[in-house]
Amino acid sequence: MSELPQRIAKRRSIPALLLLLAGATLCGCSGGDFGRTRADARNDDMHRWLGAEATGSVGMKASQFQLTDPERQLRDLAYQFIEAPLSRPAWKSVFGDYQPLPSPWRQKVVFDRTAYGRNLIDEPHRSFASRYSLLIDNVRDDITRFEPFFATAIRVIELDRKRSASLKVLSDVSPRERVDAIARMEENALIVQWVQVSLERRISSYRWALERLVIQTPDNIAADADRLIGELAAQTANPPVAAQPVLGRAVTVKG
């Protein structure tokens, strides 16, 4: 091969090499294609970690039992409340990788009730009216999710009562089975408490955000937001079911 064709071949190989290196870099990322949530994170038990995080944060071991359908649904519905609203930019909701969250029992977790409002105000919007609308949408979404979650929680807690009663009468339950059964009941109770804490924190954040919006740009739509926040607060203060505290570990929403 003459010198000229060799130079042409080398030049053509450079873009291909760069493309190969870029592809390798993307494959090495923790997320999936273009930063989307990894396919291996999207599965029926993708929220199973909630139980292990809740029990682990109070010094208990997670159950090794498989999740029942109601328990799996409880965790799926719980995550919608546990992930704070506007906790990440809108683009990251689509392209960002899925990340487990620390439970409120972790001592290093400090609740900042101003974070939601600051994100709401700082993110680019066409007008402050759109900020009010987003706040209203977030509160309304929580109200809509409230009944499905607690309906599932009632079912799970009722089944756990039957599980507890069975442990008292069955004679052939192994020590390992007994430990896992108790751990699963504790997991379920802690997840319900976690959602309760998350709801209280959301309400506190929504109120702070509304106050800032009213101070900066008063608008009649603020009354609608205030009414919805009050409705969510009333529901949260009187939940259809309350899980019993585990080891007396209460969590406050101060911050």
For residue range 14-70, what is the model confidence (pLDDT) as tens digits? 555 444 444 444 344 444 443 344 444 456 778 888 888 888 888 888 899 999 999
Average pLDDT on 113-119 reads 93
The pLDDT assigned to 23 comes to 45
User: Would you state the structure tokens that stand for residue 20, as one six-digit string?
Assistant: 């190969």
Task: Give the count of alpha carbons within 13 A of 7, CB side only.
Answer: 3
Per-residue pLDDT band for 117 (boundaries 50, 70, 90) equals very high
Over the stretch 166-216, which tens digit does the pLDDT of each residue have? 999 998 899 999 999 999 999 999 999 999 999 999 999 999 999 999 999
* Orientation of helix 69-82 relative to helix 49-56, angle to 10°: 70
Instruction: Look up residue 47 and give its DSSP letter.
Output: T
Cβ–Cβ under 8 Å, residues 73 and 47:
no
d(C-alpha 168, C-alpha 161), whole Å: 11
How many Å apart are CA 81 and CA 194, to the nearest integer?
A: 9
Q: What CA–CA distances, in Å, run from 47 to 5, 52, 78, 151, 235?
A: 57, 10, 9, 18, 25
